A = this chain, B = another copy of it.
Amino acid sequence: MQELQVLLVAGTHGNEINPPWLFDQWSQQFDLINNHGLHIKKVLGNPDALKVCKRYIDRDLNRSFTKELLDDTSCKDHEVMRARELLHLHGPSGIDPSQVVVDLHTTTAAMGSSIVIYGRRSLDLALAGLLQARLGLPIYLHEGDDTQKGFLVECWPCGIVIEIGPVAQGLLSAKIVDKIKIIVEILFEELAKIKSGLVNLPKQFVVHRHLESIDFPRDMMGRCDAILHPSLLDKNWFPLLFGQYLFVKSDGKSINFEGEGNPIPVFINEAAYAEKNIAMSLTQKEIIVFSRDWQVDLRHLCLFNS
């Protein structure tokens, strides 16, 4: 029987330098993070982008795991090649396979620590729910968004993103590193419990499911002509109220929220999303009830080869 292996990825975006720095330190001090007896495989997602402190070389690695790109042998983009390599080496059917992947990211948005999952796979939901029960982290459920796809974690049977902020690109922060350490350790602890069959599933948990993304206001030439309103910057995870300031122009005039339903914004002010025409994403709260089947699915994850 092959044992469960967890793939821990840092530096999928080369300008998110805190998780890779922690990897580096951890390699030199093996007891820096308690692995709770698990087999952990650490890997840098995009080491070449990390060397030049850029999000990516040719295209966003964390949008390169689509079937189309992976199968298109004519595509030699750096990140698509790297996506294939990561799957070849560490994918669920790779040379040194992992069954669970945790992809460590940072954000410039002041949204604290959170979990991101893509779609409603039971294993992702279960793992995210367990982590929320331990640490209270909000969960951003990204679904139904055709403009953003091909995320790394989707190529493994179970995979979540840990997103920690706010921290600028290219800056090391002791507070951010501490948060990563704590979350990763608790995650290992929960995975070890799953493996040993001792996991205690909560009854329910809360997700913020993706509704839509909002672009910056633009002039007739397509240039961004307003900035996020300062009063909004620390309002990730807070419902938008009708009339609330969203953007401000250079002459001080504001552009206000006039939508309905009090959606909840996330990723307000993520620097990397400007090129994706995303000023923020809007979500809605939803309660997910744990299913008994998930416990069975989790057991299967750990006994995949028996």
Partner of A250 from B32, B175, B248, B269 at Cβ < 8 Å? B32
Do A271 and B26 touch (CB < 8 A)?
no
Contacting B at CB under 8 A, from A44-66, are 54
- Shortest CB-to-CB span from A120 to chain B, Å, is 32
Question: B residues within 8 A CB of A201?
Answer: none
How long is the Cα–Cα vector from A219 to B21 in the complex, in angstroms? 13
Q: Which of A68-76, A129-137, A226-234, A297-305 contacts B (4 or more CB under 8 A)?
A: A226-234
Q: Encode A155-178 as 1/0 by CB contact (under 8 A) with B.
A: 000000000000011111111010
Taking the complex as formed, is A122 at the interface, i.e. its CB lies under 8 A from any CB of chain B? no
Question: B residues within 8 A CB of A29?
Answer: 250-251
Q: Encode A264-302 as 1/0 by CB contact (under 8 A) with B.
A: 000001011010000000000000000000000000000
Question: B residues within 8 A CB of A227?
Answer: 21, 172-174, 177
**Whose C-beta in chain B lies nearest to the C-beta of A249?**
B25
Do B25 and A250 touch (CB < 8 A)?
yes
Taking the complex as formed, is A108 at the interface, i.e. its CB lies under 8 A from any CB of chain B? yes
Q: Encode A217-241 as 1/0 by CB contact (under 8 A) with B.
A: 0010001110111100000000000
Partner of A170 from B21, B24, B271 at Cβ < 8 Å? B271
- Shortest CB-to-CB span from A217 to chain B, Å, is 12
Do A269 and B228 touch (CB < 8 A)?
no
Q: Encode A182-225 as 1/0 by CB contact (under 8 A) with B.
A: 00000000000000000000000000000000000001000111
Taking the complex as formed, is A22 at the interface, i.e. its CB lies under 8 A from any CB of chain B? yes
**Whose C-beta in chain B lies nearest to the C-beta of A247?**
B174
Taking the complex as formed, is A2 at the interface, i.e. its CB lies under 8 A from any CB of chain B? no
Do A250 and B177 touch (CB < 8 A)?
yes
- Shortest CB-to-CB span from A232 to chain B, Å, is 10
Q: Size class of A's contact patch?
A: 35 or more
Do A170 and B274 touch (CB < 8 A)?
yes
Assuming the contacts A169-B169, A174-B230, A230-B174, asked whether A24 and B223 have C-beta atoms less than 8 A apart, the reply is yes
Do A175 and B230 touch (CB < 8 A)?
yes
- Shortest CB-to-CB span from A1 to chain B, Å, is 35
How long is the Cα–Cα vector from A175 to B24 in the complex, in angstroms? 36
Assuming the contacts A29-B251, A251-B32, asked whether A170 and B173 have C-beta atoms less than 8 A apart, the reply is no
How long is the Cα–Cα vector from A272 to B53 in the complex, in angstroms? 10
- Ordered by A's residue number, 6 sampled pairs between the chains whose C-beta atoms are within 8 Å are A28-B219, A32-B250, A54-B54, A168-B271, A172-B274, A174-B230
Given contacts A108-B171, A175-B230, 20 further A-B contacts (CB under 8 A): A21-B224, A21-B227, A25-B225, A26-B250, A28-B219, A28-B225, A29-B250, A29-B251, A108-B168, A168-B271, A169-B271, A170-B274, A172-B227, A173-B227, A173-B230, A174-B227, A174-B228, A174-B229, A174-B248, A177-B250
